[in-house]
Amino acid sequence: MTRVLVTGFAPFDGQKVNPSWQAAALVAAEPPAGLTVTAAELPCVFGKSVDTLRDAIRASAPDLILCLGQAGGRPGVTVERVAVNVDDARIPDNAGNQPIDEPVVPGGPAAYFSTLPVKACVAALRTAGVPAAVSNTAGTFVCNHVAYGLGHLIATEFPYARGGFVHVPWAPEQVTDGTAPALEPATVARGLRALLVAAATIPAEHDLKITEGATH
């Protein structure tokens, strides 16, 4: 059995829910065959979020780590290719912190690439009927902070694990005007189960050789 840790965030920016945590909890409640899944909710707070992630990794000793975050406005589930070593917060986090042009890890590498097969993960999501794409930016808010923090934790403390970050769209209940794209957390969870099976069986170095690039 492959041990998996899936994380999502607490609500932020005045929202009552966070679909990343909703989806993570659903996957843990009904994991795919062959995987044992533990879910952990991270605070939407710079610094503390990575500390909580570290504690969850120590507690569950996962082989595979999938961190989820909310990306309101994106039409599908996006598998992040890279996280950068910068915090530049457009809005304060849930503790009132608003770092500007500060490193996630002082002296750390400029970036960490996902150690998941990102293109195979996208293909698995689409096969499950969930709109998906590769993303080349996780932003510069707490999602990127955790994505970079995860890469640094794997590189420095938990080399036995593989992991990456995935953004999910708003849940329908968050879209009040009916114009922004949204996905039911149950639909996201269905896709994530397929993603996890692909991630557990395909090494990053054997990822699909298909185009998923972007011109801007």
Report d(CA 188, CA 78) in Å as an integer. Answer: 11
Instruction: Tell me the average pLDDT across 101-113.
Output: 98
- What are phi and psi for residue 137, nearest 5 degrees? -150, 130
Active-site choice (67, 80, 145, 152): 80
**What whole-number distance in Å separates Cα of residue 55 and Cα of residue 151?**
15
* Catalytic status, residue 80: yes
Contact criterion met (CB below 8 Å) for 114 and 104: no
Residue 14 has phi, psi (to 5 degrees) of 80, 0
Q: What percent of the chain has pLDDT over 90?
A: 97
**Of 17, 20, 6, 4, nearest in space to 142 by CA:** 20
pLDDT tens digits for range 171-213: 999 998 878 999 999 999 999 999 999 999 999 999 999 999 9
pTM of the model: 0.97
Q: Is 152 tagged catalytic?
A: no
> Active-site residue 167, yes or no?
yes
Which listed residue (121, 145, 152, 167) is catalytic?
167
Which candidate in 67, 143, 145, 152 is catalytic? 143
Beta carbons within 10 angstroms of residue 19's beta carbon = 29
pLDDT tens digits, 33-60: 999 999 999 999 999 999 999 999 999 9
